[in-house]
Amino acid sequence: MTLDDLSRTTGEWLRGVGQMSDVVLSSRIRLARNLSDRPFLTTASSSDRTEIYRAVADAITSTSAGQDGILIDVDEADVLDREILVERHLVSRQHAGGEGSRGVSVSADETRALMINEEDHLRIQALRSGLELDALWEDINQVDDTLAERLNFAFDRQWGYLTACPTNVGTGIRVSVMLHLPALKMTKEIERVARAARDMRLAVRGMHGEGTDVVGDLYQLSNQTTLGKSEREVIESFSQVIVPKVVEYERAARESLSQSTPERLDDQIWRAYGVLSNARSISSDETQAMLSPLRMGIHLGRFDRFDIATLNELFLHTQPAHLQRIAGKSLEDEQRDVVRAEFLRERLAETS
């Protein structure tokens, strides 16, 4: 398996299956770990980083944690490959744009990505489509236990796992869900939901996490602290309380729009389809914005030109790095916008 093989598929987080997948695009659990006998990366030398990379990579590739996947040397990868990893949610932007020895082990089905030398020595990530936090926890907990047999993680009896960022100290767990909330945006209820989330000490961010804007009505919701709560408590609060409540609000807003202003809703859906079908130049952000009402329209049964699988393919393959991989060459911004519009017109013509 190679990165080229991965880039030809849609990706695990966009399969469009799983619980509450009409609103929840994906679920992710991430664990932060550091080696007890090595300095944190903030003070590590270049040689330290190399030794950490080798130790962690060896533990991954020699155990079941990395048996079915590929180990990618991010430091040696070209810019386009790094961006493809970001667009597929397999590494963070910080990891892709960092310096020094670092890498990622990706499972064949993209449900696991183990980042080496990101902010911590090791970030274990499990990712699935829909709301599947319990299954993710079983998977990531097994990987953590497997690697703990080979690596001595920094742990304190009082404080728990020691991490580079104080907000991760404790269990080191970060739970996040990607939510599609177009109806709450249209009914101007999204700020109220965002305020309620912040009051619960949850982070509300854009699709690619910290520091990114919300595009295409996609919101990433995650816990901000881990100290004082068990992994199970964090997961249960998300899967049983927080996410179902937000999904309930979004579904109610969609139903309200369908009942009270169906013409307005249909107009937005079909205008978006018209733009995507006829544009001669279109940016990535505008493409995502236009795909958002179509995604909602498909789930509401108000749009039937293509299905969710096709929409998700369009969503991912029109991202800058994937688009250039398809084109087979590097493209400037304006060139990408033209090629993207051509790709969309051709692909949508096939579905008519």
Q: What is the mean pLDDT of residues 20-35?
A: 96
Confidence band for 212, pLDDT divided at 50, 70 and 90: low
pLDDT surpasses 80 at 226: no
Lowest mean pLDDT segment, chosen from 59-68, 131-140, 207-216: 207-216
Alpha-carbon span 97 to 312, nearest angstrom: 26
Confidence band for 57, pLDDT divided at 50, 70 and 90: very high
Q: What is the pLDDT of residues 284-309, one digit of tens each?
A: 999 999 999 999 999 999 999 999 99
Share of the chain above pLDDT 70, in %: 98
Mean model confidence pLDDT for the chain: 92
Question: Could you tell me the CA-to-CA distances from 177 to 106, 144, 208, 249 in Å, in that order?
Answer: 20, 21, 12, 16
Q: What is the mean pLDDT of residues 250-271?
A: 96
Compute how many other C-beta atoms are within 10 angstroms of the C-beta atom of residue 283.
Answer: 17
DSSP letter string, 65-79: GGTTEEEEETTTS-H
What is the CB-side half-sphere exposure of residue 337 using CA atoms within 13 A?
9
Residue 19: per-residue pLDDT:
95
Alpha-carbon span 252 to 247, nearest angstrom: 8
Residue 201: per-residue pLDDT:
82
Compute how many other C-beta atoms are within 10 angstroms of the C-beta atom of residue 341.
Answer: 22
pLDDT surpasses 80 at 30: yes
Q: List, in sequence order, the alpha helices (H) in 67-217.
A: 79-87, 93-96, 133-148, 182-186, 190-199
Q: Do 52 and 152 meet the contact criterion of CB atoms below 8 Å apart?
A: no
Q: What is the mean pLDDT of residues 112-138?
A: 96
Residue 269: per-residue pLDDT:
97
Q: What is the mean pLDDT of residues 178-207?
A: 88
Confidence band for 210, pLDDT divided at 50, 70 and 90: low
Confidence band for 335, pLDDT divided at 50, 70 and 90: very high
pTM: 0.92
Alpha-carbon span 99 to 44, nearest angstrom: 12
Q: What is the mean pLDDT of residues 320-347?
A: 95
30: which strand partners? 125, 174
Angle, CA of 132, 177 and 20, to the nearest 5°: 50
Confidence band for 200, pLDDT divided at 50, 70 and 90: confident
Residue 223: per-residue pLDDT:
87
Alpha-carbon span 226 to 221, nearest angstrom: 15
Tokens 């944690």 correspond to what residue? 65
Alpha-carbon span 203 to 194, nearest angstrom: 9
pLDDT surpasses 70 at 277: yes
Residue 271: per-residue pLDDT:
97
Alpha-carbon span 76 to 230, nearest angstrom: 37
Residue 8: per-residue pLDDT:
73
Angle, CA of 203, 204 and 205, to the nearest 5°: 110
State the angle between helix axes of 308-317 and 320-327 in degrees (0 to 180), rounded to the nearest 10: 90
Alpha-carbon span 179 to 58, nearest angstrom: 36
Residue 248: per-residue pLDDT:
95
Q: Do 50 and 39 meet the contact criterion of CB atoms below 8 Å apart?
A: no
Compute how many other C-beta atoms are within 10 angstroms of the C-beta atom of residue 302.
Answer: 18
